[in-house]
Structure 1
Amino acid sequence: MAISRKEEARALSADEHELVEKSHHPAVQELSDTELAGLVKLLRERRDKAQTEAHRRRREIRGKGAAKGASPSKADAGSQRKLAVLAMTMRRLNGEVERRRRLEADLSQVANAHRALEMKQAAKAKGADFNTRHAHKGMRAVANQRAQNLVRPMELGRQRQAAKVAQAKRDAR
């Protein structure tokens, strides 16, 4: 479920809210790669801290963990909301990082294709054939590496039949 910006502001502290605001659409695309990496690192730390806090509060409510304050927590809706906001922010930032990575890969592929075309055209201008594995002299036959079988097939058949007959005689005893 989507969380409005007003609910985000209510769930976060002032400095966390500033960080989360940088992750929304127009602002995140204006960040440089190093700023984006720094923001991802900071928000991941904050998310992990909020996750630990929410887990601790849930244990207090169930009675499994010791109370951090004077009395155990009665509800953890605020810590759950904060965790949800920070997790959604991390998803947005990871999506932006992935988008930039794919864009970089696409640009790299285009550059490689242009370079290959230039190399092909330069080779064609020199007069070289495109496929140089068998250029100028044509393809050459490759000698068979397997040893030649010198036994006549008729002799093999005769021996095989003699073995069958001998085995049948032994089995008949």
Structure 2
Amino acid sequence: MSINNRRELSLLSHDEAELIKSSRRPALDLLDAKALVEAKRRLRDLRGKERSLAHQKSREVRGKAEPRGGSFPGTADRPRERKQVFSAALRRVNSRAARLRVEGVKQAHIDAARRALAMRLANPPPAVPKPGRTAGKGMRQVESRKVSSKTAPAKVGSVSQATKKAQAKRDQA
């Protein structure tokens, strides 16, 4: 469930609110790679702190752990909401970092293509074309894998000779 901006600001301190504001669209586009890495680190730390606090509070409610610190009474709902705020901001910062990475890769491809084009234009093809295929040994015949008949070639001749002999005997008689 998303939390609206007014509710987010009521949950956060001034410094945290500034960090969250910088993770939103107009300010997020102005951040460079180093600032994004720093924002990711801070958001992860804050999210982890709220996660562990929410976990501790839920353990206290169930009676599994002793209360920790007297300055933070209440349930685990507020730390969970704060964790959601930091998680959403971290998601925005991560997606911006991914977009910057993709833009960097695209630019690297464009630069490589331009270098390749410059190299190709610097070395024009020769005026005389290559001769292409030459005779050499000539084309090689590809043997057919089909079997023409199942009768052995030696057998074919003997059968026809036997037929000739049989016919000759019948003609003499």
TM-score by length of 2: 0.69
Q: Could you report, residue by residue, the CA deviation over 1:85-132 in whole angstroms, capped at 9, with x for unpaired residues?
A: 000010000000000000110111111111111112222x26399xxx
What residue number does 1:27 align with?
A: 27
What residue number does 2:112 align with?
A: 112
Structure 2 counterpart of 1:121, one-letter code: L
What residue number does 2:154 align with?
A: none
CA contact (8 A) 2:55 2:76 kept: no
Question: What does 1:1-173 correspond to in 2, within 5 Å?
Answer: 1-69=1-69, 74-123=74-123, 125=124, 127=126
CA contact (8 A) 1:53 1:79 kept: yes
Instruction: Flag the structure with larger Rg.
Output: 2
CA contact (8 A) 1:57 1:73 kept: no
The root-mean-square deviation of aligned C-alpha atoms, in Å, is 2.7
Structure 2 counterpart of 1:65, one-letter code: A
CA contact (8 A) 1:60 1:66 kept: yes
- Give, in whole Å, the separation in 1 of the partners of 2:56 and 2:111: 51
Aligned-pair identity in percent equals: 30
Cα deviation for residue 52 of structure 1 reads 1.0
Cα deviation for residue 71 of structure 1 reads 10
Cα deviation for residue 70 of structure 1 reads 5.1
- Give, in whole Å, the separation in 2 of the partners of 1:72 and 1:50: 12
- Give, in whole Å, the separation in 1 of the partners of 2:87 and 2:72: 26
Q: 1:60 to 1:76 in 2, by over 3 A?
A: same
Q: How many residues align?
A: 135
- Mean Cα displacement is larger for which, 20-29 or 60-69? 60-69
Cα deviation for residue 18 of structure 1 reads 1.0
Q: 1:58 to 1:73 in 2, by over 3 A?
A: farther
Q: 1:127 to 1:60 in 2, by over 3 A?
A: same
Cα deviation for residue 49 of structure 1 reads 0.9
CA contact (8 A) 1:61 1:73 kept: no
CA contact (8 A) 2:47 2:86 kept: yes
